Structure 1
Amino acid sequence: MTHKLQHGSILGGVATVPDLDAALRDYRDVLGMDLVERGSLSAELAAAWDVSASAGAAMAVLRPASGADCHIRLVEQPDHPGFKPTTTYGWAAYELTVQDVFGWPDRLEGSGFEIVGPPKELEGLPFFVPMQVLGTGREMVYLNEVRENTPSSDLPKAQSLTDHMFIVILATPDRVATVDWYRDRLHLTVGDTYTLEYSMINDAFGKPAGTVSDLTMVQNDRLPIVEVDDYPAEATARARHEGMLPPGNALVSLAVESLDAIALKWIAEPRIRSEAPYNGRRSASTQGPAGEILELIEIG
């Protein structure tokens, strides 16, 4: 099975897009994801995320053709002129495991996806081959072809052309404190820290070649979950419309064994929801240390 659920598993993410129909063509027809539901964001769920002004927004729910229990929700809302990807704190990217990464540039021709990092083998990192694209809402999506496991984590090989999220990237003003928060509050483990020339960050901030950044993996044993990135001092909080979702990569959903075992301040009281991606499970949301909206869905 491509996506065996356990504590910490990524159950999905939310991206904001200016035109839901156009984004659906990209995610469904180009990336090959299955449309699960289409409707609008309920007032109750918007309140649970503390984004009441987004209530009623058109929304679509998709999942990989593999059938993995991991959903991407697209929510329509106006672009924010102050948003520039990879320059602000919060969720920075969703990494999908895919097949045939070197074939993706041709597949994306004519779509709404902009290639910002073509497929590239990374020196010293033989475990996967990444590429990076921006969607129409300027949400960042990494398409990564897994080659092998790392010494400290198991990486999933895609069971469909595009498969589930296996890492989410979080930009933070204090990497160490953020890693500690996820370890202590969510009962996760700390993986490896890497120092590397991070081209996406350097390009976004105009940093000279050779500038390096630190990132740390937050895991559950060998399951990779959150990549926590240090950002330069020029980074800022993400500009957003009052009461609406953050632009771009807006929200991440993680599986937890028990909400009652986690001591967090919930935006609203946990409740059972019937629609995808909850499917009868209880969920609650909180704000993380970088200002990110984090939704936890109970699987125990």
Structure 2
Amino acid sequence: MPSMRPQADAAPVFDRHGRIKAGTVVTADFDASLVDYRDTLGLTVVEAGAVPSDLAASWGAPAAGGARMALLAPVSGNGCFLRLVEGAPVPGYRPARSFGWAAFEITVADVFALHARLADSGFTVIGPPKKVAGFNNFIPMQVVGRGGEILYLNQVLEDMADLDLPLAAAPVDVIFIAVQAASDRAATLAFQRQALGLEEGGTFAIPYGVINNAFGLPADHRSTLTMTKVGRLPVAEIDQYPPDATARPRPAGGLPPGNAVISLGVDRLDRVAAPLLAPATVHPGPLYAGRRSACVAGPDGEIYELIEMGEVGNA
């Protein structure tokens, strides 16, 4: 099926305002999770060590300082990363039952082949790959990892009417949408627009299997979601969660379990209209590449790590 995207020489640079640079997963089973992401998903470890104390402070999670950490990248080397951080088990945490970052949506080359590879891994398939009626843009699959993180592993087929969806350049490639479980969808949308400079995309009401299964709702129950974007670049999916959802349980001074942090490119930190959790700093390593970064918290306490791209990155 042909793509609607522009020719490659007209494509914007990867690092720009609104780009998802990384997703951070907190897991109590660090060694096994690392094997899952490296050997099953085929990501490459590009940095490993302990979380620096100043980085943990920037997250508003000083207790995470010194925790084991690994930064992984797809073999395409396009500039997107997935970061694992070790954390203690959090009693009461259940995937897709609390507010905050609910899932990372990742583009994959062959979702059916990947599904076969997951059989002997630490990932549990909660939504096997299948085409969805009315959606011809991708073939979705949903899994839960050892840390209680949810990944949407989607084989992109073509762009949407108002969004460019990335074709995979590796078996498992970039995070292209961050899925937010919101207590108040309108409030989260307003925050992303006003504080972060994102744009409102489409709003949809759909039978959402992940939500319906997690809350024991009928299969035809519809949830409302709104997309945010920068131009044709997708950024987040804001899902209105049911009344039975709760605040994400979180250890004192630590990161939330599962899908913990989204690292997002912004043109300038001084344009962010939300209080920083700590002063902007520069951290070493391939994710930050000498750029300043700082974090803000959204309406449900979700952590946005903002990496300053500069005006040139917005071209």
**3-state SS of 2:176 partner:** strand
- Residue among 289, 294, 299 paired with 2:299: 289
Q: In the TM superposition, what is the alpha-carbon distance from 1:283 to its structure 2 partner?
A: 0.2
Q: In the TM superposition, what is the alpha-carbon distance from 1:81 to its structure 2 partner?
A: 2.1
- Residue among 198, 205, 209 paired with 2:219: 209
Moved over 4 A (4+): none
Once the two structures are superposed, residues 162-215 of structure 1 have per-residue CA deviations (whole angstroms, 9 ceiling, x without a partner) of 001000100111101211111111111100001100010000000112110000
- Residue among 232, 244, 253 paired with 2:242: 232
**3-state SS of 1:75 partner:** strand
The residue aligned with 2:18 is: 8
Q: In the TM superposition, what is the alpha-carbon distance from 1:43 to its structure 2 partner?
A: 1.0
The residue aligned with 1:55 is: 65
**Aligned pair 1:68/2:105, yes or no?**
no
**Aligned pair 1:101/2:138, yes or no?**
no
The residue aligned with 2:181 is: 171
Q: After TM superposition, list the pairs within 5 Å mapping 1:1-300 onto structure 2.
A: 4-300=14-310
Are 2:194 and 2:273, in contact at CA under 8 Å, matched by a contact in 1? no
Q: In the TM superposition, what is the alpha-carbon distance from 1:241 to its structure 2 partner?
A: 1.4
| Alpha-carbon distance between aligned partners in 1 of 2:122 and 2:213, rounded to the nearest angstrom | 21
| Alpha-carbon distance between aligned partners in 1 of 2:157 and 2:262, rounded to the nearest angstrom | 25
**AA of the residue aligned to 2:288:** Y
Unaligned runs of 5+ in 2: 1-7, 311-315
| Equivalences, count | 300
**AA of the residue aligned to 1:212:** R
Unaligned runs of 5+ in 1: none
**AA of the residue aligned to 1:230:** Q
Q: In the TM superposition, what is the alpha-carbon distance from 1:251 to its structure 2 partner?
A: 0.5
| Alpha-carbon distance between aligned partners in 2 of 1:48 and 1:5, rounded to the nearest angstrom | 21
Q: In the TM superposition, what is the alpha-carbon distance from 1:138 to its structure 2 partner?
A: 0.9
**3-state SS of 1:28 partner:** helix
| Alpha-carbon distance between aligned partners in 2 of 1:117 and 1:238, rounded to the nearest angstrom | 23
Sequence identity percentage: 47
| Alpha-carbon distance between aligned partners in 1 of 2:153 and 2:222, rounded to the nearest angstrom | 22
Q: In the TM superposition, what is the alpha-carbon distance from 1:19 to its structure 2 partner?
A: 2.2
Q: In the TM superposition, what is the alpha-carbon distance from 1:67 to its structure 2 partner?
A: 0.2
| Alpha-carbon distance between aligned partners in 1 of 2:219 and 2:129, rounded to the nearest angstrom | 19
TM-score with structure 1 setting the length:
0.98
Are 2:16 and 2:265, in contact at CA under 8 Å, matched by a contact in 1? yes
Segment drifting more, 2-11 vs 197-206: 2-11
| Alpha-carbon distance between aligned partners in 1 of 2:129 and 2:259, rounded to the nearest angstrom | 21
Q: Calculate the aligned-residue CA RMSD, in Å.
A: 1.2
| Alpha-carbon distance between aligned partners in 2 of 1:9 and 1:136, rounded to the nearest angstrom | 26
